[in-house]
Amino acid sequence: MDWLSNVGSIVLVALGIGGVIFLHECGHFFAARWCGVRVECFSLGFGPKLFGWKRGPTTYQLALLPLGGYVKMAGEEGSADGRPAPDELPSKSVGQRFLIYSGGVIANVLTGLIVFPILFAYGVPFQEPVVGGVTPGGPAWNAGIETGSTIVRVNDRKITKFGDIATEVALGSPEHAEVEYLDPNGARHVVGLVPAYDEGMGAYTLGLAPGYDRQGKISVEPNSAAARAGLAEGDRLVAVESGVPGLTTLEALRLLNAESAPVKGTFEREGRSFEATIALEEDPAPAPARLGIQPVASRVVALRANPTVQALGLAKDDRLLAVNGRPIRLEHDLVRALAGAQERVRLEFLRGDEPKSAETGPLDAAAALRFARDVAVSFDTESTRVSVLAGSPAALAGVLDGDRIVQIDGAEPKAWEDVRAAIQKKKEGTLPLVVEREEAGAKRFVELTATLAPGHSRSYGFGPQAAMYVYQVSGPVEAVKEGWLASWTFLEEGWLTLKRIANRQVSGDNIGGIITIGVVSKKFADSGIVSLLFFLCMLSMNLAFLNVLPIPVLDGGHLLFLLIEKVKGSPVSEKVLGYSQMVGIVLILSLMVYVTFNDVMRWIVN
């Protein structure tokens, strides 16, 4: 029945977005009628008419392209003899025309001012502002914000949902963000952070990931390894066997996933505990051809104050080689190696090209885990040393963990990006390699040939549910205050987004068009009618903001010309108006092409 649910959500989305556009055009329509202007056409969509009817002087229609709508008023394109009739737009005063052109924006703002309070009084499902992960080496990690913390405030903004955190940081100062939070034990902290620019997100961030259900509830994919192991939607994950004392269940899951190991867990359903083992399974759908290698995860990108760190003398940009003889090549190798340390800990690493080693006394499980958490290790993309996926084309060709690729397809790579580019360029067939390998303290070069093969994504088929809650205010007065604040906030965010894009604090790639609106509104619809209505109110406020921008052909452009007319005492000349309309059309078409390209890259190509 999944397809039926999807159809229902899609219908709700279409009706919802159509409703926002309808209300906007109703604002123009009723303002025009109130001012005595004859309306010739009321259209939802552009282009050829699909169907419609005529009532009085007005044709009501649904058009082919669902990218907006319009209200065509008598005399809007000028009168044949230059003398407008009393019921035509040019015959009206500047104030009346100003009201007519701002009618759509007023309708959209009123929608937010009325519906937002109702939703907050009823209760809106939001993702809790709980931290589910902290990027090692990121601003939040450096400040000591832990997984499980609750973000209360960022700068002067009260945080009610997790998305507020990213928005406030991206649209705020890139030099400072003040964060108030409750740690997992409930203690309150206030810290000042310097946001870091994330190339992938195209914005400044704190390096925080959203949290998961506090009860440990999981989602299970149909026909997956987890489903076949007997797990069901809503089961609770109680514990995971990882072999590393002190890890949280989520940390243990990430560790096992990185090692491609089965998950042996304890689950709970309706108060009854049971155990299950879930292995990683490949998705049958092939991915692009791959070699099956990745850069070694050994580069120290950041350090936090820690007695063991100080004792070993580690520094930023050191490259870890081994702990007690165990190689460090994967993301979780450090925590695994430390968990197995029985006596003194001997660390081998590179500082630049110089091999170094250091020792410290025995660490108990808590101290070992604290040390691993205070050393942020990331992929060494400046090197061509690799770790190899088991069973991959590289492994079958004889590439070993720790090999350094010195030649690939006839080229000599300088960094990991060169290796990746060579694989992408080849796409299929055989790929000649030369690797540098260290054996018994000596280096030698090995010539190999790998055959690229389609990759497959792998998963357990289950994961933790998002941390959700219902945000509800008490009393009508609080609901109105919260709703009006939300309306103003979304208008303000529209302006700040344009400002941050202009000064390159936010990437223009974050702008989306009709495809993004459809995809996002479908997700809200899947969460329920209240969530969808909340999103539609957001959309309504954004539509109000965009339409008030002083761009010719938009409502804001007409309003600008009316202000000029009021100041100078006469309308803008036909020549100026004509040229400005052409510029406006070019700008709008260019924007549509740009956001559609972003949509295609975001939702189809990537």
Q: pLDDT for 374-400, tens place per residue?
A: 999 999 999 999 999 888 899 999 999
Rounded (5°) CA angle 95-97-99: 70
Same domain, 312 and 254: no
Confidence at residue 75, expressed as pLDDT on a 0 to 100 scale: 86
Residue 213 CB coordination number (10 Å)? 19
Average pLDDT over residues 255-267: 91
Same domain, 318 and 410: yes
Task: Give the position of tokens 């159809």.
Answer: 7
Q: What is the CA radius of gyration of the chain?
A: 30
Whether the predicted pLDDT of 1 surpasses 50? no
Same domain, 342 and 242: no
In whole angstroms, give the CA distance from residue 132 to residue 147: 5
Confidence at residue 341, expressed as pLDDT on a 0 to 100 scale: 61
Best-predicted range by mean pLDDT among 1-5, 78-82, 359-363, 392-396? 392-396
On whether residue 327 sits in a domain, the answer given is yes
Same domain, 394 and 271: no
Element (DSSP H or E) covering residue 199: none
Residue 572 CB coordination number (10 Å)? 15
With cut-offs at 50, 70 and 90, classify the pLDDT of residue 571: confident
On whether residue 548 sits in a domain, the answer given is no
Q: 355 or 9, which is more confident? A: 355
Q: How far is CA 66 from the centre of its chain?
A: 26
Whether the predicted pLDDT of 272 surpasses 90? yes
Same domain, 343 and 438: yes
Number of domains observed in the structure of the chain = 2
Confidence at residue 296, expressed as pLDDT on a 0 to 100 scale: 92
What is the average pLDDT value for the chain, to the nearest integer? 89
Best-predicted range by mean pLDDT among 270-284, 320-334, 360-374, 468-482? 468-482
Residue 42 CB coordination number (10 Å)? 21
In whole angstroms, give the CA distance from residue 536 to residue 304: 44
Whether the predicted pLDDT of 80 surpasses 70? no
Q: Which domain holds residue 245?
A: 218-284+458-463
User: CA end-to-end span of the chain, whole Å?
Assistant: 28
DSSP class of residue 603?
Answer: I
On whether residue 388 sits in a domain, the answer given is yes
In whole angstroms, give the CA distance from residue 259 to residue 275: 21
CA-nearest of 276, 209, 167, 164 to 466 is 209
Same domain, 255 and 353: no
With cut-offs at 50, 70 and 90, classify the pLDDT of residue 110: very high
Same domain, 238 and 339: no
On whether residue 532 sits in a domain, the answer given is no
Alpha helix segments (H runs only) across 503-554:
514-526, 529-548
Residues identified as active-site: 25
Same domain, 293 and 327: yes
End residue of a domain, out of 454, 471, 499: 454
When mean pLDDT is compared across 92-106, 434-448, 502-516, the lowest value belongs to: 502-516
End residue of a domain, out of 463, 487, 512: 463
In whole angstroms, give the CA distance from residue 584 to residue 575: 14
On whether residue 69 sits in a domain, the answer given is no
Average pLDDT over residues 56-61: 92
CATH number at residue 246: 2.30.42.10
Q: 63 or 514, which is more confident? A: 63
Same domain, 264 and 332: no
pLDDT tens-digit map of 448-463: 999 988 877 788 999 9
Cβ distance 65 to 46 under 8 Å? yes
End residue of a domain, out of 407, 425, 454: 454
In whole angstroms, give the CA distance from residue 589 to residue 534: 29
Cβ distance 514 to 603 under 8 Å? no
Whether the predicted pLDDT of 479 surpasses 90? yes
Same domain, 345 and 267: no
Cβ distance 392 to 385 under 8 Å? no
Same domain, 248 and 391: no
Whether the predicted pLDDT of 81 surpasses 80? no
Residue 345 CB coordination number (10 Å)? 22
Confidence at residue 45, expressed as pLDDT on a 0 to 100 scale: 84
Whether the predicted pLDDT of 207 surpasses 50? yes
Same domain, 301 and 259: no
On whether residue 35 sits in a domain, the answer given is no
Tokens of 198: 């994330």
Distances 294 to 318, 323, 402, 451, 513 between C-alpha atoms, Å: 19, 21, 10, 16, 34
Give 172's contacts (C-beta < 8 A, 6+ positions apart): 154, 155, 195, 204
Element (DSSP H or E) covering residue 179: strand 177-182
DSSP class of residue 431?
Answer: E
